[in-house]
Structure 1
Amino acid sequence: MPENVLSPRGLRLVGLTAAAALLLSGCVNSGEESDSGAAEAQAQPITATSVPAEELPSAAEDYTAYYDQDIEWTSCEETMMCADVTVPMDWAEPGAQEDLEIRIISSQTGGDDAEHLLTNPGGPGSSGYDAVADSLSVAFSEELIEHYNIIGFDPRGVHRSAPVTCLDDAEMDEYREQVSEEQLDDASSYAEARESAAELAAQCESESGALLGHVDSLSAVRDMDVIRAVLDQDELNYLGFSYGTKLGMTYAEHYGDRVGRFVLDGMLDVSIDAHELNKGQALGFEVALENYAQWCIEQETCPAGDTVEEVIEGVQELFAGVAETPVQGADGRTVNVSTLVSGFITPMYSREAWPVLSEAMSVALGQEDFTMFQYFADLQAGRSPDGSYEWINSFAFNAVMCLDYPMPQDQEQIDAEFEEVSEQAPTFGPYLGHRAVICGEWPAENVSEPWNPDLGEVDELLMIGTTGDPATPVEWAENMHEQVPQSSLIIREGEGHLAYRAGNGCVDEAVDRYLIGGELTEGRTDC
């Protein structure tokens, strides 16, 4: 493998580390790869396919074995049960590639005769297994836990389900430490960025192979329908968060007659393109920063200033200073601006974490100690204190995004989009990068695009947005509600990402009433 997975100048547009923290919120092995391997990956892209749902009925001969399979439950996580569900890697040509095993976990809390509630925590790249195994009582109400057997799953390409792998632990540390010293503002720098992205893509292909062409959201949704079938459910009950709402909307679009009670919290707008997605999140974090700044100056001491403007300027100066001169962390690793921005964004996901964010700001500004921000960035990246990565979700994130969203390849358009985001979101926009470069070199072609939903066979579903949500702005929920007439909408007044189990009884009670009793208020409700 080349010494640097991404060159210094390659990071600004690729922007993987900081950008992966946005959407939405394992030890791997790595072999050597030559420059000729990168060229070969570019010349012979993996073939990925996206087949209309009507061509894939569950009773079709080619899929019967998947839908009729008997899964073997085994004890796991002390009180829970786990199983592997077999699905085709390529839904267009089952058997053409090796089958995949999708790991699922059941809370076993509802009893043998209870209905099942499938859940996804977001990402793309987040583990639904971990959400149930580690956060059951936090993420779900006691009533919901008692009523359902709650099912978590790692979607294809994620952690325990044929994970996308690219780098080992040491290589990932090196990757995250690369420093962007120059702007990508000429043909030479773009060429270098693309070469570096091709080297990374070749490494991912070397480790993950044909899987990279089959981790798109539609394929994951087809897996969800198999999970429904093996759980012996005529309809799928589902609670999806953040990116999990896109999985829910995709399922409802293609399997509308099998939609049970669906709750989608932290709505992703499936009708917007990658640029609007990136811009919406950047603007969302700008608003969240303003709200944090207002809260901060109302405290006894605010480390960054006495007015909202001073706090925002202080954050911008902090970012700019580290962008110009990266600092060394206590453990000797480099804290660059990508690490700092990722570490800053992570505690912004919850208002309860704002005091910790202020503490990190105070230490960084007063002592030039960025240990806390490095710690937050490590949490987001899946890095343990011992240097191991339990699960590197950022590569699965990129793999899904490159398949799900067409990306521009014209340098002028990329520049224009980057400048628009940077101008409209001056604090975060300059550091979020542009995924077009890495997707342009990705060894699998884009297979999906945004769409305007038509859920004609769906009777009802519940969407939720939060006014101060930085990662999935409330406007996205409002737009989806407008496009889907059979949807009900709850708007939570508050800060932070997601609404259910965020301390708002109005939201929690409405969700539980619907999922447990089927009671759903029509139209919009403000909580």
Structure 2
Amino acid sequence: MRSLFAIALAATTLIPLSIPLPPAPALDWRPCARQSPAECATVAVPVDWHRPDGPKMSLAVARRAATDPDARIGVLLFNPGGPGSSPAQDLRDQDYYENFSPDIRKRFDIVGFDQRGTGEAYAVTCDGDLLGQQPPTVPADAGQYAKLLAYNEKLTDNCRRLSGPVFDQADTMTAARDMDAVRAALGVPTVSFLGTSYGTLLGQQYAELFPHRIRTFVLDSNMDHSLDGWGFLRSQTVAGEDAFQFFLQWCDKSSTCALHGQDVGRIFQSLYDKAVAGTLTDPMHEGEKVAPDDLSNAAYYADYEPNFLYLAEWLKALDTGRPPRTAPSEPTGPGGWGAPTFHPDEAIFCADWQLTVSGFDQLTGWRAELARVASHIRRSTVAWGSLVNCLGAGIAVRNPQHALRVADAPPILLVAARHDPHTPYDWTVAVHRRISRSVLLTYDGSAHGNYGPDNPCVTAAVDHYLLSLAAPADGTRCPDIGPDAG
């Protein structure tokens, strides 16, 4: 994930509620393309909500109607995260629709809308060739740091030119106003919502602006939009190290771990030292060199899924020089180089976060401190990329961090995994403290995003709340069900 901000600040407060919503004509539902079982439509919203009578843009919306119309409860909106996911496109995909349980599909119209800057229309796009020219994100000296900032500014200029005015109107608070325009166009007074990861920020900010429009809200794996740059980096790095320690504990007690009975922490350290020296190779890719960040990323994403079995086998392969039983998945690239490439990350993320760095010396000091608090993964490469890719980019922070303010909302269900490497458990605890009447449901395992068929305890609790309005008792816990076999 690329994303965050640096030195071009045009801070704004919450968009006033006095700004009127646009008219909400009935949606013209038509069959989606590609033989999808979903229906598709568009909703017109202002490009700039501070000028509601100004130019408009269309947001793609997709719907899977309740399978039992007689038992229909209402509308369930969802956002699976990002920044930069495309919920309308996700809903056209039958596989994603299956993530919702049969009872939810039976009783809700499930609706996804493409957050501005994403999807097929009004998407943030950048030149693919330029995206492939990024300098090192861990600058070795002040000169490389200056080159990184210059590149970020050049990329922003390119993306802004290719994307048009949506590039500078893509923050999440603005998207929350779009979400209410979608609700109005659907013709319902209240909505239910399931937001995951970065989608929780959309849900949190909708709850700030429109608490009276909430029926039931589930925020799974929460962002904490009150952290400064150092707090963001440190907390996500600590969470990544905690998740890796959880993996080590599993490997120590589980005979299914390929490194069971060995000192896995020592093996990882030895591999990391070889990667730093440039002598570590991957037996699955004809001796291709493995960089230190490759190890950190592998540990991070294995905890993210989680897929502990694969991580253990891959580390064993690196240590022994023999291929694992399970081949690693090939990475997917960002698109065809040289062509306009979908890339909304910075346009959204950098507009949401004011994360300033005074210069190369401070960044280097932060890196050293992160390595001290996370002796294995060294730093969260995701959080680091989020920060450095916004430094000097020249993207105005339209939606800066603030203490969450939600008043008069019905009970909101907050879900978190105790060992989530991406959205630390403490982030959801902080959000829980700031939303009165909210309910915390904890999964005692390692995962990012907990709702779905792979986690029956969490899913049953969420479904019961969505269907009946009855949230579980605050502080309810679901037991760890172990790693995904992959």
Q: TM-score, normalised by structure 2?
A: 0.84
Are 1:397 and 2:345 an aligned pair?
yes
Counterpart of 1:318 in structure 2 is 271
Q: SS at 2:407's partner residue? A: coil
Residue in structure 2 matching 1:454, options 397, 400, 405: 405
Amino acid at match of 1:93: R
Counterpart of 2:82 in structure 1 is 123
Matches within 5 A, 1:292-371: 292-300=247-255, 302=257, 306-307=261-262, 310-325=263-278, 330=285, 336-338=291-293, 341-351=296-306, 353-367=307-321
**Partners of 2:61 and 2:114 within 8 A in 1:** yes
Amino acid at match of 1:417: W
Q: 1:376 to 1:247 in 2, by over 3 A?
A: farther
Q: 1:524 to 1:427 in 2, by over 3 A?
A: same
Q: 1:390 to 1:201 in 2, by over 3 A?
A: closer
Are 1:272 and 2:232 an aligned pair?
no
Deviations 1:342-401 (A, max 9, x none): 4443332223x22222333333333387998974542xx556xxx7899967x4222222
Q: 1:300 to 1:333 in 2, by over 3 A?
A: closer
Amino acid at match of 2:448: H
Give 1 or 2: higher helix fraction: 1
Shift of 1:161: 4.2
Q: SS at 1:468's partner residue? A: coil
State how far apart, in whole Å, the 1-side matches of 2:276 and 2:190 are.
Answer: 51
Residue in structure 2 matching 1:239, options 177, 180, 194: 194
Counterpart of 1:484 in structure 2 is 435
Counterpart of 2:415 in structure 1 is 464
Deviations 1:60-87 (A, max 9, x none): xxx33xxx23332121253111112221
State how far apart, in whole Å, the 1-side matches of 2:124 and 2:89 are.
Answer: 17
Counterpart of 2:206 in structure 1 is 251
**Partners of 1:405 and 1:446 within 8 A in 2:** yes
Counterpart of 2:185 in structure 1 is 230
Q: 1:359 to 1:228 in 2, by over 3 A?
A: same
State how far apart, in whole Å, the 2-side matches of 1:430 and 1:189 are.
Answer: 20
Shift of 1:127: 2.3
Residue in structure 1 matching 2:18, options 52, 55, 64: 55
Amino acid at match of 1:454: R
**Structure 2 gap ranges (5+):** 479-486
State how far apart, in whole Å, the 1-side matches of 2:85 and 2:303 are.
Answer: 18
Shift of 1:490: 1.0
Deviations 1:415-448 (A, max 9, x none): 3433332321233344623544432322321122
State how far apart, in whole Å, the 2-side matches of 1:103 and 1:289 are.
Answer: 39
Counterpart of 2:469 in structure 1 is 518
Are 1:157 and 2:117 an aligned pair?
yes
Are 1:81 and 2:35 an aligned pair?
no
Amino acid at match of 1:422: A
**Partners of 1:75 and 1:81 within 8 A in 2:** yes
Q: What value does the CA root-mean-square deviation take over the aligned residues?
A: 3.5
State how far apart, in whole Å, the 2-side matches of 1:163 and 1:201 are.
Answer: 14
Shift of 1:188: 2.6
Counterpart of 2:62 in structure 1 is 105
Are 1:424 and 2:379 an aligned pair?
no
Counterpart of 2:483 in structure 1 is none
**Structure 1 gap ranges (5+):** 1-16, 24-41
Shift of 1:319: 4.2
Q: SS at 1:278's partner residue? A: helix
Bigger shift: 476-485 or 317-326?
317-326
Q: TM-score, normalised by structure 1?
A: 0.78
Q: 1:221 to 1:331 in 2, by over 3 A?
A: farther
Deviations 1:139-189 (A, max 9, x none): 211111111111122211123242221132x655x447x667xx6364333
**Partners of 1:124 and 1:400 within 8 A in 2:** yes
**Partners of 1:453 and 1:483 within 8 A in 2:** yes
Counterpart of 2:162 in structure 1 is 207
Counterpart of 1:474 in structure 2 is 425
**Partners of 1:48 and 1:213 within 8 A in 2:** no
Q: SS at 1:445's partner residue? A: coil
Deviations 1:35-64 (A, max 9, x none): xxxxxxx99x89886652323233xxxx33
Counterpart of 1:36 in structure 2 is none
Deviations 1:441-499 (A, max 9, x none): 22321122222222212122111111122212222222221222211111122221122
Q: SS at 1:106's partner residue? A: strand
Shift of 1:306: 3.7
**Partners of 1:51 and 1:92 within 8 A in 2:** no
Matches within 5 A, 1:13-52: 52=15
Counterpart of 1:281 in structure 2 is 236
Q: 1:374 to 1:493 in 2, by over 3 A?
A: closer
State how far apart, in whole Å, the 2-side matches of 1:323 and 1:86 are.
Answer: 52
Q: SS at 1:408's partner residue? A: coil
Shift of 1:119: 0.3
Amino acid at match of 1:241: T
**Partners of 1:253 and 1:453 within 8 A in 2:** yes
Shift of 1:226: 0.6
Shift of 1:206: 2.9
State how far apart, in whole Å, the 2-side matches of 1:496 and 1:467 are.
Answer: 8
Residue in structure 1 matching 2:390, options 439, 445, 464: 439
State how far apart, in whole Å, the 2-side matches of 1:419 and 1:333 are.
Answer: 28
Q: SS at 1:470's partner residue? A: coil
Amino acid at match of 1:165: T
Q: SS at 1:126's partner residue? A: coil
